[in-house]
Structure 1
Amino acid sequence: MKAIGYSIMEFKAGIFIVAMLAIVLSSPAIAQKTKNPPAPAAPILPPSPAPAPEPHHVDLADLLSVAGPFHTFLDYLQKTNVIETFQNQANNTKEGITIFVPADSAFAALKKTTFANLTQDQLKSLLLYHAFPKYYSLAEFNELSSLNPVATFAGSQYTLNLTDNMGSVRVKSMWSNPEISSSVYSTAPVAVYEVKKVLLPMQIFKSDPPLAPAPAPAPDAKASDVAPSPTSGKSTSAKAKAEAKNSSYQVSVGIVNYLVLAVSGGLMLLW
């Protein structure tokens, strides 16, 4: 009986516990937590990489204004707006640009009317003729010379011939064949090389343009100091003649005085 009593009591206690659990689980707070479990935490992602820096663009106008002197070439580029064409190509990092820049002395060596008689289109073509629409380092000219003639920025008809003789590169047009005298700037995508002559295409110049007259030689100051002028020569000669005449007069007077004294002395002896 005692065992049966304990079983009944345990059964009642179990029923009580189940009932209590049912009440607790049926409460609104527990039910809400059960229906809406917390969202899982967002995964921690690595920081995104910094954006790549903008490519450095060479300002051709600034470069040509401080190098050289290339003021004449730069002035023509700006007047014809060809500088904008060159700058857009220089900013194209895929292809780049190669420019052959004549020094101011190269333009001064030609007669002034050489460029004054050109039309605006001819002048633009002349300037575009001084560039390749691609970057070439000096080391690449040896291979490039095997592709002669090479088309320029002015078009397929405006070509140049290149020669590379042990690193000495020449750029040949119809009326000029200058050597690249220096590398002004050569970092991809921009290469600027100095040449001592203006590149003159046959499509614009049917004959060799005349050179400017040679400047008159400066007077030699030392020669003028040594050689007397005609006026100074005359004055020097007159002075010499006057001195010689004065000396002759003095000698003549001395002889006369001597004779007078001699005669006077002889007369005194006679007395």
Structure 2
Amino acid sequence: MASHFLSSQFFLLLTIILHCTTTTVAQSLAPAPGPPGPTNITKILEKAGQFTTLLRLFDITKVGDQINTQLNNSKQGMTVFAPTDNAFSSLSAGTLNSLSDQQKDELVQFHVIPTFISMSQFQTVSNPLRTQAGDSAPYKFPLDITTSGNQVNLTTGVVSTTVANAIYTDGSLAVYQVDKVLLPMSLFGPPAPATAPAPESGKDKKEGGDDGGQSPSGSANSSDAVDLRGELHGLMVGVIAFIAVFCL
């Protein structure tokens, strides 16, 4: 009986050892997880959903590829304001179709900032914020950001909106949902006021004085003509008097 008990215990111990060994070997043979792939803005927006129009513009303008390239070759990071499909639907009919390829590129670039900005960092940004569209001067591509508590407000000079939520952030890329398309002044704002004419130079004023001086000169010439006529009249009177005396 004791021998049978020992055999059973030995068999159980052997089974446990074999199981542990098999598990350890299996774990050692399993491939180690690879490093995460490069950041891809397109995949992020596809996973989030409701950004079909923005993705189409990314593809048309190649801005999506540009963002991915910059993200994986620069340490500055990037920030993207992503308008939803509803935001694009609220635009006037034909708005996007009326834009040239260059204008579409400028519109999309206006939604991209070439640095990473966290929600808390919005409180310290300097306005106007420079986007990848370029010139942030008035009537060009100015973007102003203000905060009120945890709310982030965006103003382009044409539209104002707020950041709805953070779709993605990893310390390198931040993607924020906005419920309005950010319309830049350069494309959708009123025309810039006409430039005031330049003041007259000293030379122009001098030339103007010379022109004005012609009038006195003309008056002098007119006076000379009157004197000449007076002299001729006197001469004629003298001649007539001489003839009258001679004939008598």
What is the TM-score with the length of structure 1 in the denominator? 0.54
- One-letter identity of the residue aligned with 1:130: H
Q: 2:101 aligns with which of 113, 120, 139?
A: 120
When residues 177 and 206 of structure 1 are mapped into structure 2, their CA distance, relative to the original with a 3 A threshold, is: closer
Counterpart secondary structure, 2:184: coil
Matched, 1:142 2:126: no
Query: Structure 2 matches for 1:221-240, cutoff 5 A?
Result: none
Partner of 2:143: 160
With 62-71 and 160-169 compared, the bigger mean Cα shift is at: 62-71
Counterpart secondary structure, 2:86: helix
When residues 198 and 61 of structure 1 are mapped into structure 2, their CA distance, relative to the original with a 3 A threshold, is: same
- One-letter identity of the residue aligned with 1:180: V
- Runs of 5+ in structure 2 lacking a partner? 1-33, 191-248
> What's the CA shift string for 1:233-269, capped at 9, x where partnerless?
xxxxxxxxxxxxxxxxxxxxxxxxxxxxxxxxxxxxx
> What's the CA shift string for 1:143-162, capped at 9, x where partnerless?
11xx1111101113322100
Offset of residue 55 of structure 1: 7.2
Counterpart secondary structure, 1:192: strand
Offset of residue 111 of structure 1: 1.7
Matched, 1:183 2:162: no
Offset of residue 194 of structure 1: 0.2
Superposition misfits of 4+ residues, deviation over 3 angstroms: 53-56
- One-letter identity of the residue aligned with 2:124: E
1:89 & 1:176 partners in 2: Cα distance? 28
- Runs of 5+ in structure 1 lacking a partner? 1-52, 208-271
Offset of residue 66 of structure 1: 1.7
1:118 & 1:194 partners in 2: Cα distance? 23
Partner of 1:29: none
Q: Is the radius of gyration larger for structure 1 or structure 2?
A: 1
Matched-pair contact (CA < 8 Å) for 1:93–1:188: no
Counterpart secondary structure, 2:95: helix
Offset of residue 91 of structure 1: 1.5
Partner of 1:7: none
Matched, 1:96 2:38: no
- One-letter identity of the residue aligned with 1:149: P
| Number of aligned residue pairs | 154
Tell me the percent identity: 32
